[in-house]
Amino acid sequence: MKKTMLTGLVLAATLGTASAQFKLNSKAIGAVGKGVKAATFSDAEAAKLAKEAVDWMDEHNTVAGPQDPYTIRLNKIFDKHKNEDGLSLNYKVYKVVDINAFACADGSVRVFSALMDKMTDQELLAIIGHEIGHVKNHDSRDAMRAAYKRAAISDAASSQSGAVNTLSQSQLGDLANAILESSYSRKQESEADNFGYDFLKKHNYDVMAMASAFKKLQALGSGDKKSTMQKMMSSHPDSGARAEEVEKKAKKDGLAKGK
């Protein structure tokens, strides 16, 4: 995937067809408001920045229309989950070849059509449940804060008080990439896994779909061309262990179908 800049997932060069790649462009993203303090980055500030980034992505990528089969399928799966665990969520499909999905601090959930081609409905629920977990657990906010802070420091844009006045276009690019490429700790990943599992269990979905989704992503990550999500999954030495952990929990809960 050719990156020019953005998190959760990345944008790429040309648009207009389902074969387009995810596109990012720092010049299209507006300047961040003055006076944001990186050290005390609030949920509201993270949501504001996330919305600005997602609005740009929506504008510069091929979004499936309301009558598109991908949108119809996604709505069928997720319409009942627009308000989940205190979060206000909105869902769209990017018609791109990259295999990915992400949820941002503002509640925007974006699913790539190529991922939908590979996953069952239940597996999509598992993946998005995991991503929503990062938002609910404030991982998305913390990743945004860290990226914002690094960008400010790298360009000497912060004052002694830590207040960032504005971000340059290159810094906005770094910030955008952080949305799609956030690196979470094992603890954060484990907690997001737990959230995703509990999400499936609470709504009477197949919890084993989380294990099968992990295994599919791990297998997909073995190819030459890898998306951000594929690289993340294939680079995790414990990807198989995470699937096994789901299976163990499912067995304990009496939900391990076929086990």
3-state DSSP call for residue 19?
Answer: coil
Any catalytic annotation for residue 123? Answer: no
* Distance between CA atoms of residues 117 and 89, nearest Å: 22
Tokens of 88: 């206000």
Name the token pair of 257: 């179908």
User: Please, are residues 64 and 70 in contact by the beta-carbon 8 Å criterion?
Assistant: yes
Kindly tell me the sign of the dihedral angle through the C-alpha atoms of 91, 231, 20, 174. positive
| Residue from 45, 84, 123, 131 carrying the catalytic annotation | 131
Cα separation, 153 vs 38, whole angstroms: 10
The residue assigned the tokens 């993340």 is 232
Instruction: Enumerate the active-site residues.
Output: 131
